[in-house]
Structure 1
Amino acid sequence: MKILYGVQGTGNGHIARARVMAAALAKRDDVSVDFVFTGRDPEKYFDMDVFGNYRTLAGLSFVTRHGKIDEWRTLKNANIRQCFRDIKQFDTVGYDLLINDFEPITAWAAKRSKLPSISISHQAAFSFPVPKAGDTVTDRLLMKYFAPTDIQLGVHWFHFNQPILPPFVADKPLASPAKQHVLVYLPFEEINDIQQMLEPLSDQQFMCFHPGISAPLDCGHIHWQPTSKLTFQTALQHCAGVIANGGFELSSEALQLGKKLLIKPLHGQFEQLSNVLTLNQLDLCQTLFQLDTDVVEEWLDAPENEPITFPDDPSLLIDWLVMGNWQDTKSLCDALWRQVTYGNKTREKLLSLAF
């Protein structure tokens, strides 16, 4: 089977999910795969070796300013004409299937050429009745038409009795993590704003990753790092907690490691608001609606989360893709959810909410 795999490159979460799939696919001799990434300047991708000879295209992305989506600059920067050209010129001949993670060029090219296509993404979960917050008519249209596919397989922290998979998370909790710092990843916030929020909390060490940082920089108890997969994963394993935006993948990794979460959703993005709603309903995070030192200080005393065990091997999913009976999503979902283990408090909360 020859697979085309389209990935939205705007956020690192999409790429992190694709890395797990790429590593598993590389072990197979019955599948070959070509990766396409859009939504980010080519030079801003990092740690991409696992994807082999991947392609990049401009695609579509959003622009943020001070932790909010800047709708005007997003529209101004969107090169719709180039996007249509790329869709029209994209050659899908020779592929048996498109796997799509909210990536518009390959999705519309597959639709145009009638190549079978499957969404495997967190965004696809919002096609189904799952907890949502702040979604507008525009958001619903965007979810439906931005990257349309024949079959939608959502990815979420619970199945909600829908065609939804659990996330694949490779890292397991360490026996004795150091817990000497708090990890901060707020890529849509200004560096100076983050610095000002954390500056008064001098008794706590903070490890801050940001795409605007080009080399490690120590500012007393605040340690700045450029984005790097290996350094970030080490910092995540050894942290006492995570302060982050409401992206799905980092929250999933933190949940598996039992890290407490303080989440600042990106204003204007209903997906992140919905993620915070679900985590709050399960008592798995606290919320930071603006950069507030007092809220951070209070959260520092909060207890840890109970770890949630998610699957780490997507082989069952790949087997299902190869077999080709793609309308039967239930057997796949059931098999993967049997690998998920919740802590007692989370399990009781799920039962009380009657999801």
Structure 2
Amino acid sequence: MRILYAVQGTGNGHITRARVMAPALQQAGIQADYLFSGRDPDAYFDMECFGQYQTRTGLTLATHGSKVSKWQTLRKSRVGEFYRDVRNLDLSAYELVLTDFEPVAAWAAWRQKRRCIGLAHQYALCFPLPGTEKAPLLKQAVSLFAPTDIRLGIHWQAFDAPILPPLILPQTYPLHHDASTILVYLPFEDGAEVRHWLLQFPEYQFRIYLKTETPGCEGNLTFLPLSREGFQQDLARCGGVICNAGFGLCSEAMQSGKKLLVKPLKGQVEQYSNAVILEQMQRASILQDFDKTLMRTWLSRAGADEMRLPDVAGRVARWLKEGAVESPQELANQLW
């Protein structure tokens, strides 16, 4: 069985899911070719496990001033290039397309009448989740962005819907909780503002990952280039994580038993909903702005319990190999 696995490359959470799925697909006897879109080709890192993968420009949301900018999103969208990529992507060699909210392959599958299965957190947004009440057209927007024949949504709870548990790589480094060390990943925020805020807590060490070529230090701040291995090491030993409310990193932090302080990206309903659900689960505090008092309260809190997860990737891979006959609801019931 040969499939095309297409992955939205805008956020690292999509790629993390693909890292989990890759060995599971191979073990199930499925040959997968990989296509990524949503960022510049030279901005991908630690991609060896995907072999000779393809890239496309695709579609993505643009941000400005720590919020989604509709104008910048429209201005930067290369609609003509997107249409050409959809038209030129030949799917004749594949039995099906598996898309993690990647639009080029999803629309090419629709155009060529090739079976397409969606496996992504975003497909959970097609169901009524906390924090989505003010977005009545969300299901239509998700379907329009990356249409599929079958949707497998992913979330931290089932919400009485055909939603699967998270797909997360198992923690490879020994876990311990150094309360004085905090991991920070805020790629959509103003770096100078983040720096000024964190310098006000000199008794804590902040490990900050960002787009830089070389590491650097300033007081209690350590600035680090993006690295999957280094990030996982810091995640294993830190006392807590400060991040935007993306699904992937929050899931990894919960699996490792780390407390979370999340700052949802303004204007993005997915991150707002994630933050609301995390707060309801008592897994995170929500940061609307760089509030010193809230930060002090959060820093004083204890860590959380580790989140135990089933082998979602293995079960999904076997489901695909068996022809994806069982309904998403049956699959979800087995995993939960």
Fold conserved between structures, TM > 0.5? yes
- Alignment pair present for 1:39 and 2:26: no
Partners of 2:40 and 2:175 lie apart in 1 by: 39
Aligned 1:252-331 pairs, distance under 5 A = 252-312=251-311, 314-331=313-330
User: Which residue of structure 2 lines up, in the alignment, with residue 69 of structure 1?
Assistant: 68
- Aligned residue for 2:197, secondary structure, equals helix
The 5 Å alignment of 1:104-143 reads 104-133=103-132, 135-137=134-136, 139-143=138-142
For the residues of structure 2 that align with 1:12 and 1:296, how far apart are their CA atoms? 25
1:87-236 map, 5 Å: 87-133=86-132, 135-137=134-136, 139-172=138-171, 174=174, 176-211=176-211, 213-236=212-235
Which region of structure 1 is more displaced relative to structure 2, 166-175 or 244-253? 166-175
Structure with more contact order per residue of length (Cα contacts < 8 Å, sep ≥ 6): 2
- Give the share of equivalent positions with the same residue, in percent: 41
Asked whether the equivalents of residues 60 and 77 of structure 2 are also in contact (C-alpha less than 8 Å), the reply is: yes
Q: Which amino acid aligns with 2:24?
A: A
Gaps of 5+ in 1: 338-355
Give the CA RMSD over aligned residues: 1.6
The alpha carbon displacement at 1:302 in A equals 1.5
- For residue 11 of structure 2, what is the aligned residue in structure 1? 11
**Shift of residue 290 of structure 1?**
1.2
- Using the alignment, how far apart are the partners of 1:261 and 1:26 within structure 2? 34
Give the deviation of 1:161 after TM superposition.
2.0
Q: Deviations over 1:55-100 (max 9, x none)?
A: 0000011211221112211111110111011101110002111111
Residue 24 in structure 1 maps to residue 24 in structure 2:
yes
Moved more, 55-64 or 172-181: 172-181
TM (norm. structure 1) is 0.90
For 1:345, the equivalent position in structure 2 comes to none
Shift of 1:140: 4.1
Structure 2 unmatched ranges of 5 or more:
none
Are the counterparts in 2 of residues 134 and 270 from structure 1 also a CA contact under 8 Å?
no
How many Å apart are 1:294 and its aligned residue? 2.6
Alpha-carbon distance in structure 2 between the residues aligned to 1:95 and 1:276: 38
SS of 1:197's partner is helix
C-alpha distance in structure 1 between counterparts of 2:133 and 2:266, whole Å = 10
Q: TM-score, normalised by structure 2?
A: 0.95
The number of residues matched between the two structures is 335
Residue aligned with 2:266, SS: coil
Matched-pair contact (CA < 8 Å) for 1:183–1:235: yes
Superposed displacement of residue 158, structure 1: 0.7
Alpha carbons of structure 1 residues 95 and 223: separation in structure 2 relative to 1, 3 Å: same
